[in-house]
Amino acid sequence: MNIIEVVRSARGVLGGLAQQIPVVGAAAQRDRIDLDGKVVFITGAARGIGAEIARQAYAKGAYVSLVGRTMAPLEELAAQLGSRAAAFNADVSDFEALEKAAAATIAQFGGIDVVVANAGIAPPPDTLLTIDPKEFERGIDIDLMGQWRTIRATLPAVVENHGHVVVVSSIYAFFNGALNSPYAASKAAIEQLTRALRVELAPHGATAGVAYPGFVKTDMADSTFAIDHVDEARKALPGFVTDPIPVEQIGSAIIGGIERRSAKVASPWWVLPMLQARGVVTTVMDEFMIHNAGLSKAILRAEATHRDPS
């Protein structure tokens, strides 16, 4: 038996097993989501990826619930979009506020069909040796626990409507987290959280998926890349990895993933292949970064700023 026959045989066996597993079958048989008339609940909707998803969902006929900490930009975006958009105040560190935002969304629009758990922060780009412990824990609280709170607050409505949850992770789910460890740890944990969620939702006819953006042209990315040692570290890595993509590109990918109820959505082009080959890729990546003189210099420079702020 040659390699092609082995692959075909394996596919046949796995396909047969999948059909015999009720959970997999239930998830696979769900219809696509037509966003026209659906209610989409988005955290971190004031700017960046969240705002772009709101624009694209609205353009497809969805009602959009714009959720965030600061009302002014949310209300401005809602006004720009139109009558099918509304702004709700909630910090993802506050579970009760998220529950209230979910209840207000249901009261205004009649339910919640899709949740985009997107809100997040970029902790200081420091090493584990130098980062303020409070900043590390705040990063974990917002970027991981904030996603969990968002999911839990909206999940009853999603189950009721056989809807979909997409949790915005990052390439840092598998990318080495040097100078970005709380963010990377959170994004890896989010991936596992959503994998469990997808299985748990299947018996209810609902679905969940993970989005893996690469570097995206947003205000948060611009401000982070402007820091000297971050820019130095960025230049030590291959350009195709660190060149930001337009926010419209990742927004379109996530919207398409929602419509297909995809388990995984990624952009740019190279992310999914790396994701699929992560066992090899992560080992090679770590060794490359360990022996990268430019990156080592950036790490030492980052730590030096704590000893000598000048």
Task: Identify which of 183, 189, 196 has the alpha carbon closest to the alpha carbon of residue 120.
Answer: 183
Residues with catalytic annotation?
183
Phi, psi of 36, deg, nearest 5:
-60, 115
Confidence band (pLDDT; 50, 70, 90) for 282? low
Task: Identify which of 210, 273, 219, 281 has the alpha carbon closest to the alpha carbon of residue 244.
Answer: 219
Q: DSSP label at 173?
A: G
pLDDT in tens, 57-112: 999 999 999 999 999 999 999 999 999 999 999 999 999 999 999 999 999 999 99
pLDDT in tens, 41-56: 999 999 999 999 999 9
Whole-number Å distance between alpha carbons of 37 and 44: 22
Residue-level pLDDT at 274:
86
The share of the chain scoring above pLDDT 70, in percent, equals 81
Return the amino acid letter for 112. Answer: I
Whole-number Å distance between alpha carbons of 224 and 6: 47
Output the CA torsion sign for 56, 57, 58, 60.
positive
Q: How far is CA 269 from the centre of its chain?
A: 16
Residue-level pLDDT at 30:
61
User: What's the CATH number for 33-219+239-278?
Assistant: 3.40.50.720
Average pLDDT (247-254) is: 97
This prediction has a pTM of 0.81
Contact 287, 176 (CB under 8 A): no
